[in-house]
A and B are shown apart, each in its own frame.
Chain A
Amino acid sequence: MDVDKIRQDFPMLRGIKMQGKPLIYFDNAATSLKPQCVLDAILDYYRNFNANSHRGDYDIAHHVDVLFEETREKIAGFINANANEIVFTANTSMGLNMVAYGLMPKIKEGDEILLSEAEHASNLLPWFKVAEEKKAIIRYIPLTKEGRLTVENLKKSLSPRTKIVSLAHVSNVLGYILDVKSFAKEIHKTQALFVVDGAQSVPHMKIDVQDLDCDFLCFSGHKMLAPTGIGVLYGKYDLLCDMEPLMSGGGMNTHFNMCGKVGLQNPPLRFEAGTPNIEGVVGFYAAIDYLNAIGMENIDKRERALKKYAIQELQQCENVILYNKESESGIVTFNIKGVFSQDAGSYFNSKGICVRTGLHCAKILTDFLKTDGTVRASFAFYNTEAEIDTFVEACRNGGNFLDAFFDDK
């Protein structure tokens, strides 16, 4: 992989400065940077074939329809699904909400929904709502000492009353990769459905939903080079057919009359009421092409290497507390000894380095980690070892965090 060449494709990596320093972007778990080809694709849509989808009989509208469905096929290919199993959403949160509310009619009083303490708010709060409405019970699969989920603990937590198991493929705080395939095998020995939050996995590794055998998988475009506001809900076709749409309106019905009788479209259109995010879809198309050209296996390998290098270097800093040395993906969660995470965040800002601080929307996990908050550096394939060196040097001097306010250099 020619990282120098790749970096030329990203306008944000060509001379942008922050606090007078060259920008080092280590907040990829929040959102990725976008390559020029994605920006060009969005502009191309508005400049050359601006039209609504599924609406017009004229050429440019037809072109939008073709591109829209081609993108669906492209994404299906990307995760080895069928195109009719790909529902466009706004983001992962929306996808998870669509599944939770869509499955709600099937949940009864006393049914159990199985989650984990490491989940992001997006994969907890919709289920809390379902549990509240249906008087269902939320249970948590215990984490191991280091914060992992194991099949063993899953087995102990599954019961005849378990209706849903919903888990992140990769934890957005600790970066552990869930063994989705083994989990699916175990879960499918029961009646339960397996929902996977793929926000932190799909952008970083090769995904094959048929091999993994999860029932639903939600992810966001903006974490994988596409614009914000576009995401995907994958569901096994039969399950989608059996699911209620969260939103109603134009484009999702076949017919309706004055008595309120509504005929529903088949999936995926059933779940796509209203004018979709067309620029998002068009940008997603370009993003998938870009990722495919590099190859997800290569991206995965490169990001694991960056993580490994960062850990190796950070372990030599006595003032750095690492929370996830052993995890595989490109997420490093840490604290500088004696420095509140957000103070560290400003300090890194003053060095031109973007990191995330606080609870990372996984507010239950802080109890597990026994800290008020952490700093998270998350890498993407376009990051470099040299950037990590600058970052590690900043960590080494992190005790002087008030430099952010008083250093004149």
Chain B
Amino acid sequence: MRFSMTNEMMREIIMDHYGNPRNKKETDNSEYQTIFMDSVSCIDKIYIQALVKNDVLIDVLWHGVGCAISTASTSIMTELLKGKTTKQAQYILDQYLKMIHEEPFDESVLDEAIVFMNTSRQPARIKCATIGWNGMEKILNGNKKDR
């Protein structure tokens, strides 16, 4: 469902998620898998927590400190992946990373995440736009290995 989003709309979406990040809370429920992502080159420190049951992402949470780009991209990711099967989640993740790296991608599954399509204009920020997504990928891959 392609619709053309103006730059102004994209800015607003990023600022909205930066100002009011979704699913930003910490749980000590041991059923959740936790991944800590930090970076040598920047000061982002982001934890991703996911509850996976029967190959479904029942819940996706995050907490930590980050810039507007890492905060908004992680927030949008949690909304997008919550309730998806691990297979669907992996597909969405792949499309997102393809978009970030300027490869052909299926935008029909990315919803608000397409606001990051211009990230490659600031190559130094690709790590910010992907830090949460890379964390999620670790959880998904770890999940595969366990079986």
Residues of chain A having any CB pair with chain B under 8 Å: 339-343, 345-346, 349-350, 357-359, 372-373, 401-402, 404-406, 408
Contact = CB atoms under 8 A, between A and B. Distances in A.
Instruction: Report, as a range, how many residues of chain B touch the other chain.
Output: 20 to 34
Given A346-B122, A346-B125, A402 B68 contact: yes
Contacts of A408: 7
A349 B68 CA distance: 16
A349 B121 CA distance: 10
Q: Which 3 pairs show the lowest CB-CB distances between chains A and B?
A: A406-B7, A340-B67, A342-B67
B48 interface: no
Contacts of A404: 121-122, 125
Contacts, number: 50
A405 B42 contact: no
Q: Is the interface of B mostly helix, strand, loop or mixed?
A: helix
Interface in B12-40: 14-15
Interface in B53-88: 65-69
Contacts of A349: 122, 124
B65 A402 contact: no
Contact of B11 (A346, A350, A402): A402
Given A340-B67, A406-B7, A406-B11, A358 B125 contact: no
Given A346-B124, A346-B125, A358-B42, A406 B68 contact: no
Contacts of B44: 342
Contacts of A357: 42
Given A402-B11, A406-B10, A372 B122 contact: no
A339 B44 CA distance: 14
B43 A358 contact: yes
B119 interface: yes
Contacts of A372: 43, 65
Contact of A405 (B65, B66, B119, B124): B119
A342 B128 contact: yes
Contacts of B125: 342, 346, 404
B21 to A, nearest CB: 13
A389 to B, nearest CB: 24
Nearest to B125: A346
Contacts of B65: 372
> Which of A357, A358, A406 has most B Cβ within 10 Å?
A406
B17 to A, nearest CB: 12
Nearest to A359: B43
B141 interface: no
Nearest to A363: B43
Given A372-B65, A402-B68, A342 B118 contact: no
Contacts of B42: 342, 357-358
Nearest to A342: B67
Interface string B99-127: 00000000000000000001101101100
B43 A373 contact: yes
B14 A402 contact: yes
Contacts of B14: 402
B10 A343 contact: no
Given A342-B67, A346-B125, A349-B124, A405 B43 contact: no
B36 to A, nearest CB: 17
Contact of B122 (A340, A341, A350, A358): A350
A8 B61 CA distance: 54
